[in-house]
């Protein structure tokens, strides 16, 4: 299933606003359209949406691609797209922290190399 939540950045609050029972998978285009609808409804009541956070499952990777988000070991990361309500702002995408730690753990336990560009570690 999919759960859609809103949460504060500068204050601590969160609210579940929708859920969909999906079975084993979902269509990324349908979810993208629903996310845009949620963002527009929130922005219409002056609730600013700046970031979309998802896990790193295959369906969400497809969702990121539909928004033009690019991440991978052989590409330059692109983690934002034009905001659907205000083209002067960006809508950022990030993976949730537990999945980031899980990926890091899996890399380290499998002796995979982690390459960080020199300009990042300077």
The pLDDT of residue 50 is 97
Walking along the chain (122 residues) 10 residues at a time, the average pLDDT comes out as 93 94 88 97 97 91 95 86 97 93 87 79 76
Q: What pLDDT sits at residue 77?
A: 86
Tell me, what's the pLDDT at 34?
96
- Is this model's pTM higher than 0.85 or not? no
pLDDT of residue 63: 96
Distance CA(116)–CA(46), nearest Å, equals 38
Q: What is the distance of C-alpha 118 from the center of its chain?
A: 26
What pLDDT does residue 80 have? Answer: 97
């Amino acid at each position: 299933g999919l759960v859609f939540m809103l949460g504060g950045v500068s204050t601590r609050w969160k609210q579940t606003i929708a859920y969909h029972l999906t079975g084993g998978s979902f269509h990324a285009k349908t979810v993208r359209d629903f996310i845009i609808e949620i963002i527009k409804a929130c922005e219409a009541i002056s609730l600013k949406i700046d970031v979309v956070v998802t896990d790193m499952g295959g369906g969400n990777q497809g969702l990121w691609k539909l928004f033009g988000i690019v991440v991978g070991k052989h590409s330059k990361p692109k983690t934002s797209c034009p905001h659907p309500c205000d083209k002067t702002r960006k809508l950022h995408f990030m993976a949730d922290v537990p999945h980031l730690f899980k990926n890091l753990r899996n890399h380290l336990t499998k002796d995979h190399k982690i390459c960080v560009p020199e300009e990042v570690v300077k």
